[in-house]
């Protein structure tokens, strides 16, 4: 089990939380545009994603540059999610969609980018090395620009719970920060049962969560191939486990890398609300479908949460942790 809990205070995406005292940052976009290229893990196609700054309060928007005759703008919003099993997919009203957005959404959340346009030349995001580490480094290098618009957040007021398939369950309860308590359970002994208890901070995400890669069991690869999926999956972009053995050269990056990656995915899916969440997510056998079902159930019960914007008379926090230093720590 991994337990990553900052001690007395923590930086939470522009909120400095210490014994209930909160200071906010304003919203941010990137300073410089940048591109990331790689293979699409399910299509096997070469994909390039270009991230550019955008106007205040635009949110995160994906643009399918390979689509010309239909609306090619897809807003990253919980209302636009569909078919979330092996990845997170969003679609617009014309049925134009984009797959595998979760790692990019997770990195944007962690680094504190509220508004960005992401232009993609294919039907899914590049998987890169299967983690969000390269995205984090690129975002830090591109820099952040303050947009003079206060950050909103969603505070959980009461428990909301759901039941998923095969014994899976999840709930979200009130908390003074975003916290995750995730318990994974896989039949292959190379993964087995792992638990992560995590309280979000940018620095801990960069060091402990971003490097964690997506994973699968070898027995599932053939089934995915028959379903037309994982055509671009290799040992260079996913951890593959077979009967207790890690097939990747060099093995795991951390003993509980699989549990940490589930936390990475979960934060990316949670950011489809478009704001920071003050609440604790607890889940058994978590996955995209379970997290999105929990979010939809939460948003349908308006008595379970409240939207907040810190007023202008509150002194803004000075900023995040030293992100370049934190990123450098990954490679140390």
Rounded to 10 degrees, what is the CA torsion of 286, 298, 199, 152?
140
Q: Cα separation of 295 and 269, whole Å?
A: 9
Q: Is 62 helix (H, G, I), strand (E, B) or coil?
A: strand
Strands 178-185 and 193-199 turn out to be: antiparallel
| Closest to 35 in 3D by CA, of 120, 97, 107, 108 | 120
- Which of these is catalytic: 103, 183, 208, 288? 288
- Does the annotation count 183 as an active-site position? no
* Coil, helix or strand at residue 304: helix
Tokens matching residue 139 = 């975002």
Cβ contact 148:24 at 8 Å: no
Place of tokens 């003050």: 278
CA angle 292, 297, 300 (to 5 degrees): 125
CB neighbour list of residue 16: distance below 8 Å, 6 or more residues apart:
9, 10, 22, 23, 317
Angle, alpha carbons 81-158-19 (nearest 5°): 105
Query: Which 3-state string (H, E, C) describes 231-293?
Result: CCCCCCCCEEEECCEECCCCCCCCCCHHHHHHHHHHHHHHHHHCCEEEEEEEEECCCHHHHHH
> Among residues 129, 136, 78, which one has the least CA distance to residue 111?
136
Q: Are 4 and 208 in contact (CB under 8 A)?
A: yes
Catalytic residues: 288
């Amino acid at each position: 089990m991994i337990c990553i809990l900052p001690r007395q205070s923590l930086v939470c995406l522009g909120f400095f939380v210490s014994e209930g005292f909160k200071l906010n940052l304003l919203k941010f976009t990137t300073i410089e545009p940048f591109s990331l290229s790689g293979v699409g893990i399910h299509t096997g196609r070469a994909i390039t994603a270009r991230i550019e700054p955008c106007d205040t309060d635009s949110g995160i928007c994906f643009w399918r540059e390979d689509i010309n005759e239909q609306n090619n703008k897809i807003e990253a919003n919980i209302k636009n999610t569909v078919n979330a099993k092996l990845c997170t997919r969003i679609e617009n009203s014309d049925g134009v969609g984009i797959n595998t957005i979760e790692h990019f959404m997770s990195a944007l959340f962690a680094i504190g980018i509220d508004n960005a346009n992401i232009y993609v030349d294919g039907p899914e995001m590049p998987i890169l090395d299967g983690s969000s580490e390269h995205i984090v480094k690129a975002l830090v290098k591109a820099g952040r620009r303050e947009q003079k618009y206060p950050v909103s957040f969603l505070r959980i007021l009461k428990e909301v719970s759901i039941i998923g398939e095969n014994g899976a369950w999840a709930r979200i309860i009130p908390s003074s920060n975003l916290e995750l308590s995730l318990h994974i359970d896989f039949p292959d002994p190379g993964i087995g049962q792992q638990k992560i208890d995590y309280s979000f901070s940018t620095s801990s995400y960069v060091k402990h969560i971003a490097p964690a890669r997506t994973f699968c069991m070898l027995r599932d690869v053939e089934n995915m191939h028959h379903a037309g999926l994982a055509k671009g999956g290799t040992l260079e972009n996913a951890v593959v486990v077979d009967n207790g053995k890690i097939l990747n050269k060099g093995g795991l990056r951390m003993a509980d890398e699989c549990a940490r990656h589930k936390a990475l995915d979960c934060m990316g899916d949670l950011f489809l609300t478009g704001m920071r969440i003050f609440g604790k997510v607890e889940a058994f056998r978590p996955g995209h479908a379970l997290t999105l079902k929990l979010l939809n159930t939460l948003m349908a019960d308006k008595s379970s949460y409240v939207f907040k914007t810190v007023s202008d008379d509150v002194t803004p926090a000075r900023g995040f942790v030293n992100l370049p230093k934190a990123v450098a720590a990954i490679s140390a």
